[in-house]
Structure 1
């Protein structure tokens, strides 16, 4: 009788322990899901902002580009001439996902290119002719009809072509330079309102300046982009030591040269901070390529787990455990290239009006990556910031853009922070940013320019020694400074 009673108590104790192990994370995630507010877009037409939500600015006028090509050319040319006559500055916007006022000038004219989004594919030459306002979430389904895909883009589809070229973006495409390498030519409406064709052989200096030129040299009207085939990829993921990431990545690429997409994610949970990484790879495999369709990718669950890690040590530890556990679930699964690229930032973006998500990115030569990771481990915990995510991307030497960040093969460290919307939090973020820029420069690296304007002018010139000449050429091609933004206002004067 006593044995049975003891056994029952033991079983009951086991069930209680298992219940506690399951109930806490489930309750935590349900609470996170319920309290996660819906996104808000309530801004007056004369007040604009960007992805930082910290640049709410009153502008003189918002002008939406016409959809039809010839009418858009006339409209934009006339607008430039009017701006020159009145002394007003023009800033150019697409999806407005930059974070330092790069698409905004106080009291200026904001030219919204989103509606100028036509697409025409030459499937024989694998070239897409596309209006600069087109978003990747419009382009990917269009290309999918023809069995094609984007060659180089960001890891999400929420950005415009013109914006992506203006920041010279890069993504999960390994052994590849930034998007500038896929631009065959573009048409630019310059500071005189003239339409110019720019390529590596025609107006070549201006071409290099516009690629990663942040809209300072004119309006990118349309672009001819090299595209690639949409193929089936098999997923393979590995948990590795973060200090060994580059070695593991290079060994994998050497053995699997048909890897089409690859990136890493470093753990940011307090337990063993930045000691591990998950290397995610997608290798070309055989099989019929299915047409793009909406799959159940558990977006709500993934979002809840991710947002639950904001300002929560428990949430961060839970998330890393779940991400490591999911490695075996993803291994061997197949996806089309377009499926992997066709996801928007809204799956993970902040919607809490008291906070905002802030991006940093640092480009580190591959030999210095372990040292940079070690520096991050010791530096970030000293600052009052909430780190949500670090991904690692391989970027090859950029030979096309004037203001380039990849002077050699580098690994980009993309960091996402959750920041309170307050002066104190902004000051803390500025202090950390300047420290991390100093570290990256000491390692012969650079930082990415589309984010908060926290770098000093001295740091900008050290990371981008060609910046002074870049600004001089800006004044050569645009002597009246018709095109401007907050980035130029801060660093060019």
Structure 2
């Protein structure tokens, strides 16, 4: 009798254990199955169905500005190139044509385009030479950072200030006065020592802080409206080895954490932040990543390998489009395994990354950048406004990166009159009139929110700001455009940006 009872008890207990194991296994499989299914479907649908542009047309990174042009490819031919460019400018004046200057065309508002104009393709104008004594790189304006970084890397040096990706040309970076993860630094203009500029008349002038200083400031962030940048002298820095550290924090505490972890640490070489776009923590959580210098006198020269153009990081990123679950999954993965925390990485390895790795590949869709420059004291207030504006306008926000920028004392049309934090936002939209109209409405509201807290917006992107908003953000613009007409009285250099705000 006792043995029978014990046997029943053991069987009952074993049944409970088996049920618990079955339930646990089911929960675990369900937990694994959903992200696997989501990522598998994302990878399957991530096909490239983009159509080639018709002959004689160009576009920019928005994929919304297809424009008929006459393309003139500029090649690096010593003693010849400048003569050819002078001839192009003379012909343009005689024929009543306008000239737009283009590098990688990563702007999004037609800053490199003019309908039925002449498009100067500068990407083959890319020679460079480094002086190890002065630590100055002399480079032609069409060279891309993907060419410059390996060149400097072989010599133990790196770029002082640039964007967070390597796709851009030097001329484009100057014309937008870009900035990046180089913390506590002014924009790119601060690293430019000198450049040669071909004016609309064909005359070539030297520009620096001492020689033609007005032109120097106008061209830095001047969007190609004053002339053709020929070659540039850039101040570079030693390549360094870093170790990364990450802090998961509340976004309202971002500035205080930045002050503690970056401003008070002399070992920091680079720093950036990222904000959550997941619905449960939308713009309320952040990750601050800092790169600490490894205290070594010399570092081995490591070859820079080309990154693969596919893989799990891309799938996780693209899986956040139109999906609250995808956004939440990505943020959880970022908090657990994202970044390079604990690893040693060279500065050049961080800089030598292409935006192509995560770009949109669908013909019917596009990804659009915004950037807002916010004073530190106003960041919390601006994010509070964004938490309302973006959902109300059904903005599909994919990413927000935070970058610190110090006061710019060099460019005329400057966006950093003081220390600011740049919030780089990437939105997804349909390439339809309806999609564009919705984006314009939301953009104007976000610009208004930035202006209300003493901030500005960045100019290389869609031309959605009203002229009134543009002039409020950049009150020096009236004089800027008057000086454009002084240096280019026949209006040879044109683009859609100037047509909307300056003509």
Residues 313-352 of structure 1 deviation map (CA, whole Å, 9 limit, x = unaligned) = 110010000000115x732211000000110001111111
How many correspondences in the alignment?
Answer: 491
CA distance in 2, matches of 1:478, 1:136: 29
Question: Please, what is the CA RMSD of the aligned residues?
Answer: 1.4
Aligned-pair distance for 1:295?
A: 7.4
Distance between the aligned counterparts of 1:14 and 1:290, measured in 2? Answer: 50
SS at match of 2:427: strand
* Secondary structure at the counterpart of residue 64 of structure 2: coil
Asked whether 1:32 is paired with 2:42, we answer: yes
SS of the residue corresponding to residue 110 of structure 1 reads strand
C-alpha change, 1:156 and 1:39, in structure 2 (3 Å) is: farther
Give the corresponding residue for 1:457.
467
Q: How far off its partner does 1:379 sit? A: 1.6
Change (3 A) 1:295 1:85: closer
Q: How far, CA to CA, are the matches of 2:500 and 2:447 in structure 1?
A: 17
Q: Matches of 1:112 and 1:317 in 2, distance apart?
A: 41
Deviations 1:60-95 (A, max 9, x none): x10000222321111111101111111100000000
Structure 1 CA distance, aligned partners of 2:375 and 2:78? 42
**TM-score calculated relative to the size of structure 1:** 0.97
How far residue 5 of structure 1 moved from its aligned partner, in angstroms, is 2.1
Q: 1:30 Cα deviation (Å)?
A: 1.6
SS in 2 for 1:238: strand
Q: Deviations over 1:400-451 (max 9, x none)?
A: 0000000000000100000011111111110111111111111111100000
Q: 8 Å contact 1:292–1:339 — kept in the other structure?
A: no
Aligned partners of 1:369, 1:46: CA distance in 2, in Å? 44
Structure 2 contact 364–431 (Cα < 8 Å) conserved:
yes
Unmatched tracts of structure 2, length 5 or more = 1-10
Give the drift of 1:40. 4.1
Select which of 123, 144, 163 maps to 2:153: 144
Shift of 1:157: 0.4
1:439 matched to 2:438: no
- Aligned: 1:322 with 2:333: yes
Contact 2:101 2:119 in 1 (8 A): yes
Aligned with 1:488: secondary structure?
Answer: helix
The 10-residue stretch of structure 1 (7-16 or 338-347) with the greater mean CA deviation from structure 2:
7-16
Kindly name which structure, 1 or 2, has the bigger radius of gyration based on alpha carbons. Answer: 2
Contact kept, 8 Å, 1:45 with 1:62, in 2: the verdict is no
Q: Does 1:203 align with 2:212?
A: yes
1:302 equivalent in structure 2: 313
**Structure 1 residues 119 and 380: CA distance shift in structure 2, 3 A:** same
TM-score, normalization by structure 2:
0.96
Q: Do structure 1's residue 347 and structure 2's residue 352 form an aligned pair?
A: no
**Any idea what SS the aligned residue of 2:217 has?**
helix
| Residue 380, structure 1, aligned to residue 394, structure 2 | no
Pick the aligned partner of 2:222 from 213, 216, 229: 213
Equivalent in the alignment of 2:18: 8
Work out whether residues 230 and 289 of structure 1, in 8 Å CA contact, stay in contact via their aligned partners in 2: no
Q: Using the TM superposition, give the Cα deviation of residue 296 of structure 1 relative to its aligned residue in structure 2, in angstroms.
A: 6.9
Task: Decide whether the 8 Å contact of 1:300 with 1:347 is kept in 2.
Answer: no
Other-structure match for 2:182: 173
Match of 2:95 in 1: 86
Whether 1:73 and 2:82 are equivalent positions in the alignment is yes
